[in-house]
Amino acid sequence: MSGCPCFEKGRQLFPSKHAQTGQMDDSQIGTNKAVKGGIIYKEYLQLDKIVTAQVLQSERKGHKIHDEHLFIVTHQAYELWFKQILWELDSVRNIFLKDRVRDERNMLKVVSRMQRITIIFRLLVDQFSVLETMTALDFYDFREYLTPASGFQSLQFRLLENKLGVSDSQRVPYNRRHYGEHFHGQDMEELLRSEQELSLLRLVEKWLERTPGLEKDGFDFWGKLQINVEEGFNHELKKLEQQPGPEKKAEMTEELIKQREVFTSLFDEKDHERLLCVGERRLSYKALQGALMIYYYREEPRFQVPFQVLTSLMDIDALMSKWRYNHVCMAHRMIGSKAGTGGSSGYHYLRSTVSDRYMVFVDFFNLVTFLVPRTWVPKLDPSIHKILFTAECYDSSYCSSEDSD
């Protein structure tokens, strides 16, 4: 039927693919709903705003540089995803702020949204490889048209840092000195609010302080743990004494004593307050106990999802840090040791922010210093310690499904 001279009747090698037969199997049946009116794709997504937001400064100045478009779009994509992260972060903070977190039915929502944040962050870390397809030479061709615009002026990035819990005193000097200077009016109000409202760190801290099992007149986890740890070390030391081989014994004994000292500091509340003072710890003493409790008893039904929350918080810190580092690597590649367009020292400034100072949940990472053998962990008795499998859900006005947020 095609008029093609090579067409042989018997040789329909791929009959189903022939456009002319136009078979209408079920997958091809359908209508076009949009002809009847109603919101269509581009209106739903307000694409007229998004797809017209790329104005090349190099072009405006009469010297259009091709790669500037990539530079713009990459940053816009980052800001879009920052908005999404803030949307999720604020909703989680709200659940804590409004005390809805006391209804443990809301925990799934909390942990799902935190995991969503980490997955978005993973994408943002990978996104650098797209911008790295631009060479330093190509960047050099349009960089002059950018000044003084700089990522340092990104409002959403600062909101993100503050709402997670980066503390102002921990910011490196150039950061601390200047980061508020760019924001005025409504932006400045938003920034101030993000510093004043309770950060995720503070909210999680309060939540951890309420961890069931910490009550001194209840399970008294901390008291029990301290006893077990002391007994455990004494036991180990005695075992060592009974062993032959003086030299090795002395070495191992010294090791054990060092380890014991580490735990001695753990149970020293004054030491904790001191470290809080200099910014090396961020959580309260009670919250630290709650976190360690969740670590040790993470397999108990009531602590399973809380444990996932702690893991997600560490993931967020790790990914922020990886984001910063990837950013540093790329900036180094693009501008070597030149100063930043916004006025910072550039690469060197950025490098200084890849530091534990910006790590919000640093205490969770450090908790692994205090892991003990399973046998030292205070034993549980399910018939007595019902708290470990009985959740609190309050009345149905806290119902998770009612409140879509």
Q: How far is the CB of 405 from another protein (least distance, A)?
A: 5
Closest CA to 182 of 342, 71, 339, 73: 342
Single residue of 106, 308, 326, 341 touching another protein by CB under 8 A: 341
Of 17 and 258, CB closest to another protein: 17
Q: How far is the CB of 131 from another protein (least distance, A)?
A: 9
Q: How far is the CB of 231 from another protein (least distance, A)?
A: 30
Separation of CA 2 from chain center: 60
Of 22 and 382, CB closest to another protein: 22
What burial class does residue 329 get, using C-beta atoms within 10 Å of its C-beta: 0-12 exposed, 13-18 middle, 19+ buried?
A: middle
Single residue of 97, 155, 256, 380 touching another protein by CB under 8 A: 155
Separation of CA 279 from chain center: 20
Secondary structure letter of residue 33 according to DSSP: G
Q: Which amino acid is at 81?
A: W
Q: What span, in angstroms and rounded, lies between the C-alpha atoms of 368 and 232? A: 18
Q: Under the criterion CB under 8 A, does residue 24 sit at the interface with another protein?
A: yes
Single residue of 102, 153, 240, 324 touching another protein by CB under 8 A: 153
Which of the ranges 71-79, 235-243, 249-257, 327-335 carries the binding residues for another protein, by CB under 8 A? 71-79
Closest CA to 296 of 310, 283, 286: 310
Inter-axis angle of helices 185-196 and 155-164, nearest 10: 10
Q: What span, in angstroms and rounded, lies between the C-alpha atoms of 387 and 62? A: 70
Q: Which of residues 81-110 bind another protein (CB under 8 A)?
A: 81, 83-84, 87-88, 91
Q: What span, in angstroms and rounded, lies between the C-alpha atoms of 172 and 380? A: 45
Of 290 and 340, CB closest to another protein: 340
Which of the ranges 99-107, 253-261, 271-279, 365-373 carries the binding residues for another protein, by CB under 8 A? 271-279
Q: Under the criterion CB under 8 A, does residue 262 sit at the interface with another protein?
A: no
Q: x-or-dash pattern for another protein, window 278-297, by CB under 8 A? A: xx----x-------------
- Given a contact cutoff of 8 angstroms between Cβ atoms, the answer to whether 88 and 117 are in contact is yes
Q: How far is the CB of 360 from another protein (least distance, A)?
A: 13
Single residue of 174, 295, 370, 376 touching another protein by CB under 8 A: 174
